[in-house]
Amino acid sequence: MTVTLLPMAEPESTVCCAPLTRETIEPEQADLLARKLKALADPTRLRLVSMVAASDGEEACVCDLIDPVGLSQPTVSHHLKILMEAGFLTRSKRGTWAYYKLVPGALGQLSQLLDVTASR
């Protein structure tokens, strides 16, 4: 009995996914965006940004932010420090109180980063 071997079919593709069609976010930009999003990814910090943004001149004294969030002054100050480090707020001291001001354009810059990331 003679056995005839048929040629094997070529594999269709070794790629499991479609290739990228546009540029992806750079590592530095991803790191910056992640730090900013992490700072805002807390309900208390979101409320604090909202309260400062809604205040006259987009500035509020820490003394005016304590009762609305229902936390102690040191805890509120800790949250505000995180928001400052992320570039959303600035701080000025007047007497014994600290005043926090929204950095002009900080939320718009975050929005632009998200738009660029989504459109890539």
Q: How far apart are CA 42 and CA 38, in angstroms?
A: 8
Determine the CATH number of domain 27-109.
1.10.10.10
Band (117; pLDDT cuts 50, 70, 90): low
Band (119; pLDDT cuts 50, 70, 90): low
Amino acid at 26: E
Per-residue model confidence as pLDDT tens digits over 6-43? 666 666 656 677 776 677 778 888 888 899 999 999 99
Considering the entire predicted model, what is its pTM? 0.73
Q: Domain coordinates of the chain in residue numbers?
A: 27-109
Per-residue model confidence as pLDDT tens digits over 40-56? 999 999 999 999 999 99
Q: What is the DSSP string of the chain?
A: ---PPPPPPPPS-S--SPPP-SPPPPHHHHHHHHHHHHHH-SHHHHHHHHHHHHSGGGEEEHHHHHHHHT--HHHHHHHHHHHHHTTSEEEEEETTEEEEEEPTTHHHHHHHHHHHHHH-
